[in-house]
Amino acid sequence: MQSILKISDAAVIALHTADYLAGREESITSAMDITKALNVSYNNLSKVLQHLTKAGLVLPARGPKGGFSLSEAGKKGKVRDFIAAIDGPPAMKTCLLKHKICGNQRCVIGDFLAETNKRFETVMNSRISEFSSRG
């Protein structure tokens, strides 16, 4: 059976990185510090940071004290922006049979999918800063 949500490992790393950077008091954090904090591969993180930088969500800082910080766009960015920077625009599943529109009015899991999509849409429209400010 296929998954309802299709979010790559890289997109998950991007979300955790954004959350981590948003919650830091220091404005610049090294990639190595992020790697250790998230317990992810340095190589994978580097690729993610490249994509986030290209999308304008993260700013690199060069030099011996170099690292990364969220850009203004990243601070205001929504979860969907960070996923889209890695995986492209997220798409909601409406039918697990891979139909564009489910034609079965009595689908066993149709209500579940509709509710899941509503909840996921709420998360997708949430700002990264909302997650980092959680208690």
Please calculate the CA angle 64-67-70 and round it to the nearest 5 degrees.
Answer: 150
pLDDT-derived band at 135 (thresholds 50, 70, 90) equals very low
User: Is the pTM higher than 0.85?
Assistant: no
pLDDT tens string 45-102: 999 999 999 999 999 998 777 899 999 999 999 999 999 999 998 877 767 776 666 6
* Residues 34 and 16 sit within 8 Å (Cβ to Cβ): no
Quote the tokens at residue 81: 């922006």
pLDDT, position 12: 94
Query: Where are the domains positioned within the chain?
Result: 9-132
- The CATH code belonging to domain 9-132 is 1.10.10.10
pLDDT tens string 23-61: 887 788 999 999 999 999 999 999 999 999 999 999 999
